[in-house]
């Protein structure tokens, strides 16, 4: 019995040994050598230790920027941006009308986020002193590491430098978009053509006010709708037509402020003449842009002077109230000397800065710059500027055709559109396909405007006195300009304000800008 049990046991051991040998041979690809080679041993260990590569953790970025719409946009575009850029984004939108207050309060409390958009060129000037004090990261030395950021236009970057150093990325805009948007149907009815000079422009304002252009037999129309903005309202555009410098100009080899020139005074006289004739909203110094737009879109006013690219939204709302209205754009208006000129911006309308209080080190800064580098790819730039293809726009002949649902695009895309870095030449996004004749005409005029654009010679220059006092001192001139056009002070009163500006620091600004200009 014991022998039989022993034989069965030995047979089981033998069978198990043969199975092990067979398994060992199979792992060697049929090789009879049951000892694994060193290479196979390495492969086995690799298979045991290798793990699937985990996706990179999304970069968390908080962004503060002004909102130019009534409501904060939903997350439709933000969610797509996060997917395209592997980020987790927090957008802090604040109304544009009160943005400067929020910006200043956040700076004072050290609570600015990692990416801080300013409001416009004026707020950039105000922030220069803080930049000089080292409150923001200098990014110039890093741009070469990012292929798309490296495409930003050198001449525009130079206009945003502080003491020769770059701290910001810019939102590009056409150099010279300014002109007039006017009721062509009113002009046709009254036998008027687009004004070729400032005298004809005044005549249009007068007839739009007194010639019953809407045909209702009531004196309920005005020529010009303007607002409380001497820069982006009518004043700067008209001043260029009169031959005034763009903020600063060269006279007898010296840089001088525009408000010290006779052309500036002539512009004030012109606007005063229109106001005295009640051919514009007489309370324009207290009129918001919203109210200015409403005057035009309600059918009350016949001329809007500012960015000609505003024509799309103006027409969209105008035809709801006046379905038969016809609008056109125009910019070629000669001054008293017969010459034409166009006021221009330095190629950008805003910048984004990177506060050191929010970005702890160079590694974090580079992560954020890498995000901006992705923003300058065509796919991402189109998403931010145009929205989602098939929903907010379609592509026709290689251009973006905006959806007919303007309200949807305004609500979901506009907030992000205003923060796109660069321009089509640098970020590769689609140019727009325009169908409105007045907008097509505007784009043609913008090209022509660039040929006669007046540059601001101080755009790339720095003046410590201007950075410190410029905005405060400009209020003196702004106040005096409005008072003169309202007729509450005369030319002697305006000149007195200019002298006050010089005594309180303006003379030093002139001196510093001229020293920088000659270097």
DSSP string, 147-201: TTGGGS-HHHHHHT-BTTB---EEEE--S--EEEEEEHHHHHHTT-PPPSBHHHH
- The pLDDT, as a whole number, for residue 29 is 37
Q: How far apart are CA 508 and CA 501, in angstroms?
A: 10
CATH superfamily of the 58-89+97-174+348-427 domain: Periplasmic binding protein-like II (3.40.190.10)
| Integer CA distances (angstroms), 220 to 211, 212, 368, in order | 10, 8, 54
> pLDDT tens digit string along 472-503?
999 999 999 999 999 999 999 999 999 999 99
Contact 509, 463 (CB under 8 A): yes
- The pLDDT, as a whole number, for residue 265 is 98
- The side-by-side arrangement of strands in the sheet containing 327-330 is 222-225, 301-307, 178-183, 327-330
269 secondary structure, DSSP code: H
Q: Are strands 115-117 and 59-67 parallel, antiparallel or unpaired?
A: parallel
Q: How far apart are CA 338 and CA 196, in angstroms?
A: 9
- The pLDDT, as a whole number, for residue 52 is 60
Predicted confidence (pLDDT) at residue 30 exceeds the cutoff of 60: no
Instruction: State the chain's mean pLDDT as an integer.
Output: 90
Tell me what percent of the residues of the chain surpass a pLDDT of 90.
Answer: 83
Predicted confidence (pLDDT) at residue 1 exceeds the cutoff of 60: no
| Integer CA distances (angstroms), 226 to 144, 267, 279, 280, 286, in order | 44, 14, 11, 7, 10
0.85 exceeded by pTM: no
Q: How far apart are CA 410 and CA 397, in angstroms?
A: 24
Predicted confidence (pLDDT) at residue 239 exceeds the cutoff of 50: yes
Q: Are strands 393-396 and 301-307 parallel, antiparallel or unpaired?
A: unpaired
Predicted confidence (pLDDT) at residue 181 exceeds the cutoff of 80: yes
CATH superfamily of the 177-343+435-459 domain: Periplasmic binding protein-like II (3.40.190.10)
Q: Are strands 453-454 and 169-172 parallel, antiparallel or unpaired?
A: unpaired
Residue scoring higher pLDDT (519 or 284): 284
- The pLDDT, as a whole number, for residue 51 is 58
Contact 331, 198 (CB under 8 A): no
Residue scoring higher pLDDT (199 or 38): 199
Which band of pLDDT confidence, cut at 50, 70 and 90, is reported for residue 33?
very low
Q: Are strands 327-330 and 342-343 parallel, antiparallel or unpaired?
A: unpaired
Predicted confidence (pLDDT) at residue 420 exceeds the cutoff of 90: yes
- Residue 342 dihedral angles phi and psi, to the nearest 5°: -135, 130
Which band of pLDDT confidence, cut at 50, 70 and 90, is reported for residue 53?
low
**Mean pLDDT of all residues in 131-157:** 96
State the SS3 of 16-44. Answer: HHHHHHHHHHHHCCCCCCCCCCHHHHHHH
Q: Radius of gyration over alpha carbons of the chain, in Å?
A: 33
DSSP 423-440: -HHHH-PPPB---SHHHH
Predicted confidence (pLDDT) at residue 18 exceeds the cutoff of 80: no
Q: How far apart are CA 145 and CA 167, in angstroms?
A: 15
- The pLDDT, as a whole number, for residue 306 is 95
Predicted confidence (pLDDT) at residue 459 exceeds the cutoff of 70: yes
Contact 213, 351 (CB under 8 A): no
| Integer CA distances (angstroms), 478 to 468, 481, 491, in order | 18, 5, 14
- The pLDDT, as a whole number, for residue 280 is 98
- Listed residue (451, 390, 401) closest to 431, CA to CA: 401
DSSP 448-480: HHHHTEEP-TTTT---HHHHHHHHHHHHHHHHH
- Residue 316 dihedral angles phi and psi, to the nearest 5°: -55, -45
Predicted confidence (pLDDT) at residue 389 exceeds the cutoff of 50: yes
Which band of pLDDT confidence, cut at 50, 70 and 90, is reported for residue 467?
confident
Which residues make Cβ contacts (< 8 Å) with residue 80, sequence separation at least 6? 383, 388
DSSP 305-331: EEEGGGHHHHHHHHHHH-TT--EEEE-
> pLDDT tens digit string along 250-297?
999 999 999 999 999 999 999 999 999 999 999 999 999 989 999 999
Neighbouring C-beta atoms of residue 110, cutoff 10 Å: 11
- The pLDDT, as a whole number, for residue 97 is 83
Q: How far apart are CA 330 and CA 337, in angstroms?
A: 19
Predicted confidence (pLDDT) at residue 36 exceeds the cutoff of 70: no
């Amino acid at each position: 019995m014991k022998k039989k049990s022993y034989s069965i046991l030995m047979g089981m051991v033998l069978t198990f040994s043969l199975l092990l040998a067979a398994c060992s041979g199979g792992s060697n690809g049929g090789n009879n050598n049951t000892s694994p080679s060193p290479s196979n041993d390495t492969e086995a260990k690799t298979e045991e230790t290798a793990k699937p590569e985990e996706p990179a953790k999304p970069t968390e970025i908080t962004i503060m920027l002004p909102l130019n719409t009534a409501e904060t946009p939903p997350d439709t575009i933000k969610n797509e941006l996060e997917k395209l850029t592997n980020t987790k984004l927090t957008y802090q939108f604040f109304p544009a009308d009160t943005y400067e207050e929020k910006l200043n309060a956040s700076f004072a409390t050290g609570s600015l986020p990692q990416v801080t958009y300013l409001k416009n060129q004026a707020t950039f000037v105000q922030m220069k002193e803080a930049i000089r004090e080292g409150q923001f990261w200098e990014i110039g030395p890093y741009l070469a590491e990012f292929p798309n950021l490296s495409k930003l236009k050198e001449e525009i970057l130079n206009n945003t430098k502080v003491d020769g150093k770059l701290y910001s990325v810019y939102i590009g805009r056409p150099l010279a978009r300014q002109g007039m948007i006017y009721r062509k149907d009113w002009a046709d009815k009254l036998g008027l053509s687009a004004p070729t000079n400032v005298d004809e422009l005044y005549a249009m304002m007068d007839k739009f006010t007194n010639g019953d252009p809407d045909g209702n037999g009531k004196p309920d129309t005005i020529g010009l709708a303007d607002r409380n903005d001497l820069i982006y309202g009518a004043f700067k555009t008209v001043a260029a037509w009169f031959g005034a410098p763009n903020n600063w100009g060269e006279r007898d080899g010296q840089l001088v402020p525009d408000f010290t020139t006779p052309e500036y005074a002539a512009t004030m006289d012109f606007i005063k003449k229109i106001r005295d004739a009640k051919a514009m909203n007489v309370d324009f110094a207290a009129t918001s842009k919203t109210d200015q737009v409403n005057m035009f879109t309600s059918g009350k006013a016949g001329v809007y002077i500012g960015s000609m690219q505003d024509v799309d939204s103006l027409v969209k709302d105008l035809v709801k109230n006046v379905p038969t209205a016809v609008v056109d754009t125009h910019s070629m208006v000669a001054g008293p000397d017969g010459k034409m000129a166009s006021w221009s911006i330095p190629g950008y309308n805003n910048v984004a800065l990177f506060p050191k209080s929010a970005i702890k080190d160079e590694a974090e800064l580079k992560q954020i710059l890498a995000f901006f580098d992705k923003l300058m790819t065509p796919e991402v730039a189109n998403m931010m500027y145009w929205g989602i293809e098939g929903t907010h726009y379609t592509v026709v002949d290689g251009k973006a055709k905006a959806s007919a649902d303007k309200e949807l695009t305004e609500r979901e895309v506009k907030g992000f559109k205003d923060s796109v870095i660069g321009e089509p030449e640098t970020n590769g996004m689609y140019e727009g396909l325009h169908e409105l004749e007045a907008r097509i005409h505007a784009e043609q005029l913008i090209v022509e405007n660039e040929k006669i654009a007046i540059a601001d010679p101080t755009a790339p220059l720095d003046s410590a006195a201007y950075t410190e006092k410029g905005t405060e001192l400009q209020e003196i001139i702004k106040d005096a300009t409005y008072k003169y056009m309202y007729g509450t002070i005369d030319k002697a009163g305006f000149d007195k304000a200019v002298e006050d500006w010089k005594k309180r620091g303006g003379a030093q600004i002139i001196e510093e800008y001229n020293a920088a200009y000659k270097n």
